[in-house]
Structure 1
Amino acid sequence: MFKQFTFTLNNTNKIIAPSSIGIGSVYFKMEMRSTAENYNETLKNNLIKLFEQGKGVIHIDCAANYNVYPEFKDALKVNTERQLKKREELWVTDKFDTFLGTFPDPITHVNFVIKELNLNYLDLMLIHYPVVPAKNISLSIAEIWAQMETLKKEGKVKNIGVSNFSVKDLEKLKETAVIKPVVNQIEWNPYFMNQTLGIYDYCQENNILIEAYSPLYPITLSSSGEDVSEEGKNFNNYIDLLAFKYEITNSEVLLRYTIQMNVLPVTTSSNIERVLSNHNFNNDRPDLRLADEEVKKITELGKEHAQVSKYEKFVKYFESLLDN
């Protein structure tokens, strides 16, 4: 029976889980900005196929500093022409780029995107990073957040949150924020459950939903042959066992685990069939649950493994800026 899975945010709005596809990703753009020369036809076609075959609401996670708006725009145009998905059947997340300074401020950013993509509003807008190294942005994080609050009040953005924020960053934001962030999108998986010290527990205790990017990284490491550790072998053997028991894929085991840890997985792949499988699986079997002891065992095995970060250089860079 089709029943789409959602999380309830701290403002009572509901968000679709898992994300259907992350399109601010090196899976589609090896360069940091989109140009006519590196337009990705595969991304456009993948989005169209997702609109055609994805059940229910499609959750698309975007990021300004990878600038995939040209492909997204063209896919949305086809979506409208073919009447595939209504606006309310699309959940669009975007992120304001403080790193490269793709836009000078969130208001300019959002006004451009909703006009360019003909969306009228964004479902979720995040501050992508907790620091502002971009030379063309003269705003502090507090001032950026104030603009995000304005966009929400105007209805141009339905929900606002942050990304890559530590406990310290969130506590500092709380000093001036009127509206509480609904989401903190961070790197999270069983091998890397705290991108920064204590962030998982803090978000759980303060009702800020963690959105996990790289939630399937342990499987990626194993399948690529990069992880030959005994701890990695033990972890993957257990995931294999659960996949066999529930007659699902290893990826689906970890997606279900992530959701049961009260974390929303943000997935991506250049393989559209894998994207559709992950999306439709969670909608076809929304009531499937791993046993509590199985969730506990995955957590324990993950903690036994050395912490592994796919984006360690970024995390260390942000921390170095905060220390200066």
Structure 2
Amino acid sequence: MALPERCPLCSAGRESQSVVTRHVFGDVSGARAFFHCGACDVRYQFPALTEEEEARFYAAEFEGFMASRSGEQGGWLKTEQHLVANEPTRLRRMKYMAPYLDGSLDILEVGCSSGFMLYPLAEAGHRCTGIEPSGIFSEFVRSRGLPAHASLEALQKASPTARFDLILHFFVLEHIADPVAFLTTQLAMLKPGGQIIFEIPNAADPLYSVYDIPAFERFYWSVAHPWYFNEPSLNYLLEQVGSEARVLRDQRYDLSNHMVWARDGRPGGMGRFTEKLGSAAEEAYKQSLIDCGMCDTLVGIIHKSENV
């Protein structure tokens, strides 16, 4: 197994690096592993995908890969189904996005998939643009009347002076080889006073950090992710970006889901026992995980100064 010479985020040396797991979901080569940096607390894949491997993966394999992880209910192979499957996700996100949606805004979503976050925002009067490398999803977004570009670079080439009040991305940052450059580029595309709002998986996910379920460990660490951040490592990353920022906690998956993982060793349990447990119990469980920091999701909010 190849060993990293230093952390790709903070450059700490080999003495600070240790193996997290050799179970990399989707890695057919068997040559990759995930490592932990004891200096900045980030988890990262090594060796990472090459640029050619990454381009091929997102152009041709990503939807099938995601369908293999989420099952048919995720809608990754059917665009209309994807909209329906993600409506609860949209509503969850709107709870923390609402304070940033005053007025009529120019909004960009990077990695917009089927556009399920953007259509209601456009209907509310915001001017929405999507970035989506998947040909299936980008064509669907354009067919719904919204501009969609294959990459940030393609957008900048088409509209060099485009600036946005709000830039969104959800479960995208962990896919990016250079997260500092990714966020810095977006910061430059914000209007003064604008925000970047993003979600990432939390490396302190309770199925891994609390329950230590072997089947989840083999499922969780994905070849599609160069990075897994927790609160300390995400804060370290945001310090490198150099703008005012804050981190919020959230919990996507419910007690029913965790019970199915514990019992059956597989995903797909959302809402399975809610009728018997009661929604209050499900919400209390989520809130407990948020309160103790062992939740599955982190939300980053970066603010650009009015004076820039």
Which category of TM-score, normalised to the shorter sequence, fits these structures? Answer: 0.3 to 0.5
Q: Which has the higher contact order (CA 8 A, sep 6+)?
A: 1
More strand, by proportion:
2
TM-score (norm 2): 0.35
User: When the two structures are superposed, what TM-score results if normalisation uses the length of structure 1?
Assistant: 0.34
